[in-house]
A and B are shown apart, each in its own frame.
Chain A
Amino acid sequence: MMKNLIILFSLLAFTTLAKAQNTPYVKAMQNAIALLNKAQEKSDFITQAAAFNRIADAEPKAWLPLYYASYANLMGGLSEANAKEKDAFFDLALQLLDKAEKITGSNDEVYALRGYVQYMKVSIDPMNRLHFVAASKAALEKAQALNPENPRIYLIKGQNTFYTPENFGGGKAVAKPILEMAKQKFEAFKPANDLSPNWGMARTAQLLAQYL
């Protein structure tokens, strides 16, 4: 009898949990994240940015759709060749992060992504955009202060350093320990739930492979 009760209760608990995860919001997000993970081309990223934007419009209190929309725009910008178009993607990504930050306040994921986008802004016109380098570093430091275990911070830091010329304090050699740290942190990292940001492990491996 007792055993049956336990089974019954655990079944009940399971179904309520499953129900919570199956709200239209969660479903829409899971679907969009899955498609974003599969995205390859610029048009895929634009499509997914739009999908997250629609979810964000319908859920004005959620920061994650804005975060992913920003990430999709960043990726869109990276897959675009034209500098002006690239810039427009990155500007959009930054605007979306502004909105996300308004909802969630200080958030390590938002700051980390901001540091990524700001650095990409520099790459378009380095001589005139060096102020973005300082902004990017400041954002990443804020992220690290909030959550030193977030592996994406180290990936972005390492990647930024990787592509910074040696005489500006960067270079492959300086980047290596940071990227190795990122790898370690990724191995230990567990996302809070299905929807939490969980990208970057493959990119870390890709960068580290360049040292072989």
Chain B
Amino acid sequence: MKCQRLYFLLSFLPISLWTPGNSAAQVRIKGNVTTITHKAVPFASVGIKGSYDGTTADSTGKFHFTTSERGLKTLLVKAMGYETDSLTVDLNKPVDSLQFRLTEKSNSLNTVTIGIGSFVSGIQGKGISLNALDIATTPGMAADIFGAMQTLPGAQMAFGESGLLVRGGSTAETKTFIDGMLMKNPINAQVQGLSSRARLSAFNFRSTDFSTSGYAAQFGQALSSVLSLQTNNIPEKTSTTLRLLSVGVEAQQNINLKNSGLVLTGSYYNLKPNYTYLNPSQIDWIKPPATAAIGAQFMHRIGETGMFKYYMDYSDSKLGLNRATPNSMNDFAVVHNKNSYLNTTYQDALSPLWRLETGIAYSYTKDDIKIQLGNVQRLDQLLQLRAVAIHNVGKLSLIRFGAETFYTNRGESLNGLSRSYQDQLSAVFAETDLYLSRKLAIRAGLRGEYSSYLAKSNLSPRISCTYKLNSYTQAGLGYGRYFQSPADEYLLRSKLDFQTADSYVGNFEYKKSGYNFRFEAYFKAYGHLIKTADGLFNNNGDGYAKGFDLFWRDKESMKDSEYRIGYSFLDTKRNYLDYPTLATPGFASKHTFNIFYRKYFGDIKTQLNAGYVFATGRTYYNPKNPHFLADKSPNYHDISVNANYITTLFKQLAVVYVNVGNVLGLRQIYGYNYTADGTVRTPITPSTKRNIILGLIITIGDNTFYN
């Protein structure tokens, strides 16, 4: 009996062992996949974790499949553009009518962009952008980074100034950063009343971030704006580029090594032949601008996430001119500028949650200046150390905090008499990008600084809030209180206090593939600006700037062509330096309008760019007018074009480049210089009336054109 029972049991054993492999006993899993708002998600992948079994949902989100798996298993649901969902199910019985509700992954359509008022560019291409090619081909700007940025709304055209004038701010109020490190003197030798070029090549940077209204707490010491540049990563290929221009020559060697790269550049620019043969100059040159420069970049990948970068440049530039002022026949300036800049950064992701950025930068600038009064020597040294940690919180939010310190040594001498000052400015900062939801984000930051020379500290709060109205539009509000030490020329004479700017901004943006629209209105209150009284300096100056900017860009509606339009309204007055009263400074146009158009003609292999810039007249000082700065220069008009013809030369890719600034040869007058008694005046004009630049760019070893 017992035996029989055992036999009976045994007879079932092989069958029960065998059944799980039998398709007849497979378990059926059925369900559907939708969004949280119950819209079908087509073609989602549904699978059992750790097994090959699974299926893809149909176009209505329904799915079913069978599996031989048993017990408690995890089902994974994945679909492009959605967060992965998972659910544990018991496979010992059929699973029917499973409901998966997927959340969309955050993207530019469903998630607000944090921060207000920045023109971000580069490979990532988010936001309103000017990439390296846009910068190089902005008509009339001769491939100057600062020149191209001046065409963005919020910035003014520089007339006789060198640098960026942002929303009523002077050029001193915008600072330039490379990989987070300050570049104190980004502009070649300069004299008052003449705009000089930046010593930066657009092609060395993979992204630019130009903030016209407020900027992150990791930066400081700029009342108006920050231009933040990110250097290129390891070059993809080893290649040589030669740029032969009517104003100079440039050579660049890119070297690709497996985990590192090297970029070497050398250039020599001399405007003498240009002024002699091509563009007659309106300036009486003693020495037309000439610059020799070398540069090196080294990048090295460390591990999977670390990047070490070294960036250096050295340049030697000279220029000299007789000033066309009627005051004296002897007014002249000859400037010889030598500048070295070294920047070493290391960035690494320590874990998925933590990221570290460190850097050390040093700049050395020496100017030898000969003017009527005698010989002036200037020495400017700056050392910066910086460390920043970034901690990700959740999927979108983050906290960024860090510290930095700047050692400044600035000296100046005139005919053997000298003075100098040393300062250590230290700063700590913390900031959060906080997404309260995908629609609402807040960036709040605080920066504290202490200057050893001024023996003063400051605390600078910034806050901005952005809200996504729909897939294509967002609006924001921002406030920031910014501090800046007085310019070196004043600090050399006395210990002063920080200058301040309280900035309020409201913004509206529309972004749809190929189209960009932006409106921003702002109000900026300046305080503690430098005033001079009887040769002494104090912080009693103040002023304001208010206005709005409009920007429209269309890359979509026309084939092979695009255009952008910018308009700025600016109402600004200040009482600073030797101003007797509140007045509009000479670097502000009330209305600025520009339009740029680009078209590529495939059949003649030519890209054509054209631009028109209009700016209303600026104030200038007329000693005969009892009202201070009440005279205005004539309105400014400029039509510029450039063309690039792409061809091959000696089997290498080549570009022939022609740029004509002020095609119509319109007379452009920036203002006037008067004799002390106000009887005679001479106009301040650009260095040439029309400006033609010819160039040939050849890339050897890489026939993929992108320079």
Contacts and interface: CB of A to CB of B under 8 A. Distances in A.
B396 to A, nearest CB: 19
A13 interface: no
Given A128-B125, A138-B256, A50 B78 contact: yes
A58 B51 contact: yes
A53 B45 contact: yes
Contacts of B702: 134, 137
B45 A54 contact: yes
B52 A134 contact: no
Contacts of B704: 130, 133-134, 137, 168-169
B131 A128 contact: yes
B705 interface: yes
A63 to B, nearest CB: 16
B237 interface: yes
B585 interface: no
Interface residues of B, number: 37
A70 to B, nearest CB: 13
B80 interface: yes
B602 interface: yes
Contact of A135 (B44, B125, B236): B236
Interface in A11-51: 24-25, 28, 43, 46-47, 49-51
Contacts of A131: 123, 236, 706
A57 B44 CA distance: 15
B54 interface: yes
B273 interface: no
Contact of A54 (B54, B80, B133, B703): B54
Nearest to B131: A128
A88 B236 contact: no
B99 interface: no
A31 B34 CA distance: 28
B706 A47 contact: no
B612 interface: no
A173 interface: no
Interface in B44-72: 44-45, 47, 49-54, 56, 59
Nearest to B705: A168
Given A43-B43, A88-B80, A167-B647, A137 B52 contact: no
Interface string A152-164: 0000000000000
A55 interface: yes
Given A50-B45, A167-B605, A127 B125 contact: no
B76 interface: yes
Contacts of B648: 167, 169
Contacts, number: 89
Interface residues of A, number: 32
B513 interface: yes
A89 B79 CA distance: 12
Interface in B626-656: 646-648, 653
A24 B236 contact: no
A131 to B, nearest CB: 6
B580 interface: no
A137 B123 contact: no
A83 interface: yes
Contacts of B50: 57-58
A19 B484 CA distance: 76
Contact of A50 (B51, B56, B647, B705): B56
Contacts of A28: 52
Contacts of B54: 50-51, 54
> Most A CB atoms within 10 A — which of B49, B125, B600, B704?
B704
Contacts of A138: 236-237, 256
Contacts of A167: 605, 646-648
B643 to A, nearest CB: 14
Grouping DSSP codes into helix (H, G, I), strand (E, B) and loop, the A interface class, with mixed when no group exceeds half, is helix
B600 A134 contact: no
Nearest to A139: B236
B80 A92 contact: yes
Given A134-B706, A137-B704, A168 B236 contact: no
A103 B125 CA distance: 31
B77 to A, nearest CB: 10
Interface in B657-695: none
A57 B49 contact: yes
A131 B706 CA distance: 7
Interface in B76-112: 76, 78, 80-81
Nearest to B81: A88
Contact of A84 (B43, B76, B78, B513): B513
Contacts of A54: 45, 47, 51-54
Contact of B78 (A53, A58, A128): A53
A42 B704 CA distance: 31
B59 A43 contact: yes
Nearest to B652: A169
Contacts of A83: 513
Nearest to A31: B52
Contacts of A43: 42-43, 56, 59
Residue of A25, A43, A50, A92 with highest tally of chain B CB at under 10 A: A50
Given A51-B56, A55-B52, A133-B706, A165 B602 contact: yes
Question: Which of A54, A131, A169 is packed against the most chain B CB atoms within 10 Å?
Answer: A54
A206 B492 CA distance: 75
Contacts of B81: 88
Contacts of B600: 127
A54 to B, nearest CB: 4
B47 A57 contact: yes
Contacts of A130: 133, 704-706
Nearest to B598: A127
Contacts of A47: 43, 56
Given A43-B43, A46-B43, A127 B705 contact: no
A50 B54 CA distance: 9
Given A50-B56, A54-B52, A165-B602, A137 B237 contact: yes
Interface in B13-46: 42-45
A125 to B, nearest CB: 8
Contacts of B236: 131, 134-135, 137-138
18 contacts: A46-B43, A47-B56, A51-B45, A53-B45, A53-B78, A54-B45, A54-B53, A57-B47, A58-B52, A84-B513, A92-B80, A128-B131, A130-B704, A131-B123, A133-B704, A135-B236, A165-B602, A168-B653
8 closest Cβ pairs, A-B complex:
A50-B45, A130-B706, A169-B703, A54-B47, A133-B704, A47-B56, A167-B605, A28-B52
Given A43-B56, A58-B49, A133-B704, 20 more contacts: A25-B52, A46-B43, A46-B80, A49-B45, A51-B45, A51-B56, A53-B45, A53-B47, A53-B78, A54-B45, A57-B49, A58-B50, A83-B513, A130-B704, A130-B705, A130-B706, A131-B123, A134-B702, A138-B237, A168-B704
